[in-house]
Structure 1
Amino acid sequence: MANVGVLGAGSWGTALALLLNNNGHQVTVWSIDKAEVEMLTEKREHKSKLPGVKIPEEITFTNDLESAVKEKDFLVLAVPSPFTRNTAKSMSPYVAEGQIIVDVAKGIEESTMMTLSQQIREEIPQADVAVLSGPSHAEEVGRGLPTIVVVGATTRKTAEYLQTMFMNQVFRVYTSPDMLGIELGGSLKNVIALAAGVADGLGYGDNTKAALITRGIAEISRLGTKMGGKIETFNGLTGIGDLIVTCASTHSRNRKAGYLIGQGRTMEEAMDEVQMVVEGVYSAKAAAKLAKKYDVSMPIVDQVNAVLFDGKSAAEAVRELMLREGRAEHAALPWNEKI
């Protein structure tokens, strides 16, 4: 049995706390919101974020960060990506040398273009930082539906340790050394999911959704491999797998926000209606900056940014995507000119 601290009491933090508790671990969940801690302690259910899922009495909730971090075998950082750096900075004085922190959020910091694990390492250099990602909606994990994810770490030892901590009969965990690829896939797919939601909001069909998923993973892979991620990662669970579920699922906050934008809402109105952090909005500008820095073509990402921040209509963005100059699907494939 491990003693685990979960930082963040939203849907994902709560779902993983339930999973770890079911695996026999002692779990303490921290939230910065005192009212949220009191509600969860008393009601034993997160009615707004994970309704219908009962929380066992063995799980402890607190707003005391020090007690949630100190003397824990490992920590799960589950705050939304815009709050990762500040939370890590607050945690740092209590984190022991070599203590494992597994980040489970997805995003890229716009100002620095750093992934979440890079931000955590910068704020907590003494930590052993890992990531957990994959096609895994909290609503389904909380209900115990079969799910498969990947743990990325700098060492095999850390990855395999976390694999044993999380894995059970309904939650299968693979390991990978490609932390960068895992994080880029998990972050950039949120931007593509916004586009998929926009297409749904405009009333487009399955053909459009399939096109966005397929060309979206092409964009993610082009940038990701240029940055040092591995093509196997983008072809796997945290690339195409996570992209499919986020573009298609009714649980996806990014797809839902895109849907509302496609129906005519502004970005701000859509985010207010979703009532949760829409991480693709925060990653969109960073993705465009990275594409420019690494000289990679990302037309879907460009159009998402234009709709979100430049006032372009969703219909015009789709039109421009469709009417771009014709090109080969895979430029590296040779023609047999003798035929």
Structure 2
Amino acid sequence: MTKKKGPAKKDPQHEIPVGVVGSGSFATAIVKMLVENCKVVHWCVRNEFVKGAIELRGHNPTYLTSVSFDLDRLKVTTDINELVSACDVIVLATPSIYLSDAMDKMTCNYDDKIFVSAIKGIVPKANDVVAHYLRDEFKIGFRNQAVIAGPCHAEEVAMERLSYLTIAVAEDEVANKLRSLFASDFINVHCSKDILGNEYSAILKNIYAVGAGISSGLGYGDNFTAVFVSNAVREMEIFLEAVYEVPRDVNESSYLGDLLVTAYSLFSRNRNLGNLIGKGYTVKSAIQSMNMIAEGYYAANSVYHTSKDKKLNTPIIDAIYAILYEEKSAEAEFKKLTTQLN
């Protein structure tokens, strides 16, 4: 069978074996980033249907369907062991609730591999962030981990609009390697050493984006949203300092920028979830009406209890948790919240 190829691209330079686990929108966007620079990208997708559709038509049949791939640069599989065995760098890009299902199947040797988390949520099995899950469950130390942060919506990557990635990683050598893999004409890459801070901020911004969506659905305007987001970034700083205190500036793009784009953008699935709830949908019906995972819903439970355990003053997190998990009225919770923001 003749392979269908996408549009002509520059000749890729890197022969570093790299793979992506996941077949959602951000996983597809990451594959698009990597094929700009890599001669071959390994891609582990969820099932044989997705694999077959990609190999037949050159694009993901469900997410970012407009992105066409040169199949000569892809090796698609449904076997995580095949991918991990073949790659030095493994990007994890599944929804957080499915990560343990994928990782539990990993039986091959993964010593000295670099695992890059593009997951912006809490792993339910561990009730913890991905960095701790990989360390505790698989003995993958922070020297062999990295975290991808935004602001970087998958939909804008698909359109090759200029986007920004922050890659948080402990070792400078690994940072330079990863930068060379991801940077392109439309991807600007910065590096950080704040692995846990970037991971937690990516989780928190999804929760705050649910809140921004709720306020929109309730009919609050731009003025309130601006106050809401400015309070959210201060609340984020309080939370980050409590869970992982290192020098950081939350006004940098990987913290504040990612929060802004997720809270305001119509591409934001977390904002869309909140908007439905604000308009009167039940939490369950709002979740069921979406065809993508809104990580903020799942993360809110864990983050709320962490905040309570540490006795933090986080009124926004408290309000969103009450709406999502205690069936409290969104209208009443936000009316109360308006008196707590400044």
TM-score normalised by length of structure 1: 0.91
Runs of at least 5 residues in structure 1 that lack an aligned partner in the other structure: 330-339
- Residue of 110, 128, 137 corresponding to 1:114: 128
The answer as to 2:96 corresponding to 1:99 is no
* Aligned-residue offset at 1:258: 0.4
Are residue 284 (structure 1) and residue 290 (structure 2) matched?
no
- What residue is the counterpart of 2:10 in the other structure? none
Letter in 2 for 1:260: L
Structure 1: which amino acid aligns with 2:26?
Answer: W
The aligned residue for residue 301 of structure 1 is 317
Instruction: Tell me the equivalent position of 1:63.
Output: 78
Q: In structure 2, the residue corresponding to 1:216 is in which secondary structure?
A: helix
Deviates more, 1:112-121 or 1:284-293: 112-121
1:17-28 superposed matches below 5 A: 17-28=31-42
Task: Show CA shifts across 1:264-317 (max 9, x none).
Answer: 111121112121111000100111111112211111111111111111111111
1:84 aligns with 2:99: yes
- 1:183-194 mapped onto 2 (5 Å cutoff): 183-194=199-210
**What's the secondary structure of 1:174's corresponding residue?**
strand
Give the drift of 1:110: 5.3
CA RMSD of aligned residues (A): 1.7
Give distance in 2, aligned partners of 1:20 and 1:119.
25
Sort the Cα spacing of 1:229 and 1:55 in 2 relative to 1 into closer, same or farther, 3 A: farther
Q: 1:43 aligns with which of 28, 40, 57?
A: 57
Matched, 1:135 2:156: no
CA distance in 1, matches of 2:115, 2:219: 42
1:229-240 to 2 correspondences below 5 Å: 229-230=245-246, 232-240=248-256
Shift of 1:126: 4.4
What is the alpha-carbon distance in structure 1 between the residues aligned to residue 254 and residue 63 of structure 2? 23
Structure 2, unmatched stretches of 5+, are: 1-13
Counterpart position of 2:3: none
Q: Which has the higher mean CA deviation after the structures are superposed, 48-57 or 180-189? A: 48-57
TM-score (norm 2): 0.90
Label 1:18 to 1:260 Cα distance change in 2 as closer, same or farther (>3 A). same
1:174 has 2:190 as partner: yes
Shift in Å, 1:47:
4.3
Counterparts in 2 of 1:272 and 1:317: CA distance versus 1, 3 Å? same
Measured after TM superposition, the shift of residue 84 of structure 1 is 2.0
SS of corresponding position for 1:152: strand
Q: Show CA shifts across 1:242-273 (max 9, x none).
A: 10000011111100000011111111211121
CA distance in 2 between counterparts of 1:28 and 1:124 reads 22
After superposition, residues 192-207 of structure 1 pair within 5 angstroms as: 192-207=208-223
**Alignment identity in percent?**
30
Q: Work out the CA distance in 1 between the residues paired with 2:125 and 2:197.
A: 20
Q: 1:190 to 1:126 in 2, by over 3 A?
A: closer
Give the structure 2 partner of residue 335 of structure 1. Answer: none
SS at match of 1:90: coil
Partners of 1:111 and 1:294 lie apart in 2 by: 22
Partners in 2 of 1:284 and 1:162 — Cα distance?
A: 30
CA positional deviation for 1:231: 5.6
- Is the Cα contact below 8 Å between 1:16 and 1:142 reproduced in 2? no
CA contact (8 A) 1:111 1:286 kept: no
Q: Which residue of 2 aligns with 1:333?
A: none
- Once residues 151 and 241 of structure 1 are traced to their aligned partners in structure 2, the CA distance between those partners, rounded to angstroms, is 14
- Whether 1:220 aligns to 2:239 is no
Instruction: State the distance in 2 between where 1:41 and 1:321 align.
Output: 50
Q: Whole-Å Cα distance in 1 between the matches of residues 334 and 247 of structure 2?
A: 27
1:67-101 deviations in Å (ceiling 9; x for gaps): 1111312111111111223322322x224211011
- Distance across 2 between alignment mates of 1:50 and 1:208: 33
Task: Report if aligned partners of 1:34, 1:63 keep a CA contact under 8 Å in 2.
Answer: yes
Q: Distance in 2 between matches of 1:244 and 1:151?
A: 18
Q: Distance in 2 between matches of 1:273 and 1:230?
A: 40
- Between the aligned partners of 1:254 and 1:290, the Cα distance in structure 2 is 21
**Partner Cα separation in structure 1 for residue 110 and residue 291 of structure 2:** 35
1:35 to partner: Cα distance: 1.5
CA displacement, residues 187-214 of structure 1 (integer Å, 9 cap, x when unaligned): 0110000000011111221112111211
Deviations 1:162-198 (A, max 9, x none): 1111112211111111101101100011000000001
